[in-house]
A and B are shown apart, each in its own frame.
Chain A
Amino acid sequence: MGDPASSSPPASGRRLVRAFLSDRVAIACSAYILIVILMALAAPLLVKLSGHGPLEFDQAAVDSNLGGLPLGWGGGISADHWFGVEPGNGRDIFARIVYGARVSMTIALLATALTSVLGVVFGLVAGYFGGRIDMVVSRVMEFLMAFPALIFMIAVLSALPAENRQALLVVVISFFGWPYLARIVRGQTMSLKQREFVESAKASGASSAQIIFKEILPNLSSTIIVMTTLAVPGYVGTEAGLSFLGVGVVPPTPSWGQMIASSVPWYAVDPAYFLFPGAFLFLLVLSFTVLGDRIKKIAESGEGRA
């Protein structure tokens, strides 16, 4: 701690945190994301509070004479059903949103974690070793990026058995997602490895692994943070899109995308049915996008000053 030489990186870290804390938009976005995470974590508790589970039918809340249209204003919003009910079977939308948050967040965050690890490792290895390893990794990345990922994800997911869909979604999304980070990490590693501090580490006998993880990786941290924050909204959207198309999370497990898909036949008569999950999804993606954008700006302004 008292070592003066090590004091500069934490100071810039603190500066970043301070810049971040004084950014009201960034705080608002983080707050919304935090709310969704808390909602996902506390789902069973919240559902107990509201009194309806996500799979519970409530025929009393829908009008069977009108084809199961929810009774009351705004898709059946009432003290009993806070966000109204699903037309047809009367499942509580609040409960399904809360449980749907679990699915969205789990899949998006796990996919982000997996793509980050893959992207960083492959990018570092390709950029540091170069030569044949780089060629192989780069070709694989080109191939994956040229692939029609959405159609292929759908095809794979529809062909594979339905058990444990969530894990499958994470794997499939990550499989196509890592090259985008790896490409950038590779480029930066290639330029970093020419720098003096890497040369000196090499001269003092550090192993390749030491150089990669102790010398190069810490210098990539701001890039990785920015890229991963910007990747999360993409994965939230992908999961919702796949569930929307019916190859994602299997019913009756709720997911926001799937809720919106089932609201399509009802949009004209019961707009609240798609507005609730739609708004939650949109705000989540927006928050992550704006947050990533802000962090990127803060990180860039820091680089300019250094």
Chain B
Amino acid sequence: MIRFLVNRLLGMAVVLFLVCLFTYVIFFVLSPDPAVQICGKNCTPEAIDQLRANLGLDRPFWAQFWTFLTGLFAGRTYGTGANAIECAAPCLGYSFQTSQPVTDMILQRLPVSATVAIGAAVLWLLAGVSAGLLSAVKEGKFADRFITGLTLTGMSIPNYVLALSLQFLLVVTLGWLPFPQAVPFSEDPAQWFANFLMPWIVLSIGAAAVYTRLTRANVIETLQENYVRTARAKGLSPGLVWRRHALRPALTPIVTIFGMDFAGLLGGALITETVFGLNGVGKLAADSITKNDQPVIMGVTLLAAFLVVVGNMVVDLLYTAIDPRVRVGSAT
């Protein structure tokens, strides 16, 4: 078990290191000189040189990358002497636009993204798994075909089209929901809920469709397994067969993709947050992309990669706990 954990952690570190390197290369080699951008219109070559020195852009690539990496773990200092600015670990640098520390910017936005992700995840898990079970029980009947049709539709509708349609239908035409407005939970819980309801629905529809299909396929497949037949043959009641023998193996794969989906969503739902004007990590990413604010884009990319990698690992660990067939030694 310990060896497995160490292996996984090492693999995780390698992937994260590569993500760092990859993003760093893209941003600091391919994109336009940030010093020129910060400096603005009334800029002299001297000022640019000064900025480049302050940002450490005048040093060779590997040195810059190394400073960035150490900054992540130990923090770093920008500039020298009286102008020095301390950036505590995990230091992701400063925004070119607002000069705020990127770490703070992300941490401020994380609660909104978490709220969006958790609500959507609850919705799609409930809807997806129950629809999938129903579909599997009624295999081939009307309910099954109806649900299958719905899932294909749900998988196909782009979330921004769904977002706009829902907003037009529920807010403008029917007036069931108020115009989205950011209100803290403590101030007005009802408005807060109404505000998040549409993002939750929009984000959960596509995933719910996928989970429905997966649940259905897994349950149907499991019910044909020999051990289920054996359980039936020895006279167990259908309910017991379901609970003890069919459900658990059928739902194990759901855990796998759930971990990845949820982690991916925590790192920001770019499109949905943008459409609904939610100030989450996703909107932060989208905004900094339009402003070409490299440190912020990079910070968000790293956060997203980190979450996905950690999510994968948690899933692997859970998997060994849930599914007795997976042996720890062979799961690397």
Contact = CB atoms under 8 A, between A and B. Distances in A.
Interface of A: 142-143, 146-148, 150-152, 154-156, 158-160, 233, 237, 240-241, 244-247, 257, 260-261, 263-264, 267-268, 271, 274-275, 278, 281-282, 285-286, 289-290, 293
B27 interface: yes
Interface string B3-27: 0000000000001001100110011
Interface in B23-69: 23, 26-27, 30-31
A258 B157 CA distance: 16
Contacts, number: 116
Contacts of A154: 270, 285-286, 289
Contacts of A143: 15, 18
Interface stretch (B74-82, B126-134, B241-249, B298-306): B298-306
B209 to A, nearest CB: 10
Contact of B301 (A155, A244, A274): A155
Interface of B: 15, 18-19, 22-23, 26-27, 30-31, 152-153, 155-158, 160-161, 164-165, 167-168, 171-172, 264, 267-268, 270-271, 274-275, 285-286, 289-290, 292, 294, 297-298, 300-301, 304-305, 308-309, 312
Contact of A148 (B161, B167, B168, B267): B267
B289 A246 contact: yes
A151 B158 contact: no
B156 A147 contact: no
B270 to A, nearest CB: 6
Contact of A260 (B19, B161, B290, B309): B161
15 contacts: A146-B15, A146-B309, A151-B268, A151-B285, A156-B26, A158-B289, A233-B156, A244-B160, A260-B160, A263-B164, A264-B164, A264-B275, A268-B167, A268-B171, A275-B165
A245 B161 contact: no
A157 to B, nearest CB: 9
A267 B155 contact: no
Given A233-B156, A241-B271, A285-B158, A155 B26 contact: yes
A159 B29 CA distance: 9
A159 B30 contact: yes
Contacts of A244: 160, 271
A148 B289 contact: no
Nearest to A263: B164
B297 A158 contact: yes
Contacts of A246: 289-290
A155 B19 CA distance: 13
Contacts of A268: 167-168, 171-172
B264 A148 contact: yes
Contacts of B165: 274-275, 278
Given A159-B30, A271-B168, A150 B152 contact: no
* The 3 A-B residue pairs with the shortest CB-CB distance in the complex, in nearest-first order: A148-B304, A286-B156, A159-B31
A278 B156 CA distance: 11
Given A148-B305, A150-B270, A268-B168, A247 B15 contact: no
A121 to B, nearest CB: 23
B260 to A, nearest CB: 9
A274 B158 contact: no
B16 to A, nearest CB: 9
A216 to B, nearest CB: 26
A122 B167 CA distance: 44
Given A148-B301, A155-B301, A274-B168, 7 more contacts: A146-B15, A147-B308, A148-B305, A154-B286, A158-B292, A282-B158, A286-B156
Contacts of A281: 158, 161
Contacts of A247: 289
B15 A160 contact: no
Nearest to A289: B156
A151 B267 contact: yes
A290 to B, nearest CB: 5
B270 A290 contact: no
A213 B22 CA distance: 34
A268 B22 CA distance: 41
B304 A151 contact: yes
B154 to A, nearest CB: 10
Contact of B271 (A156, A245, A271, A282): A245
A143 B305 CA distance: 10
A246 B274 CA distance: 12
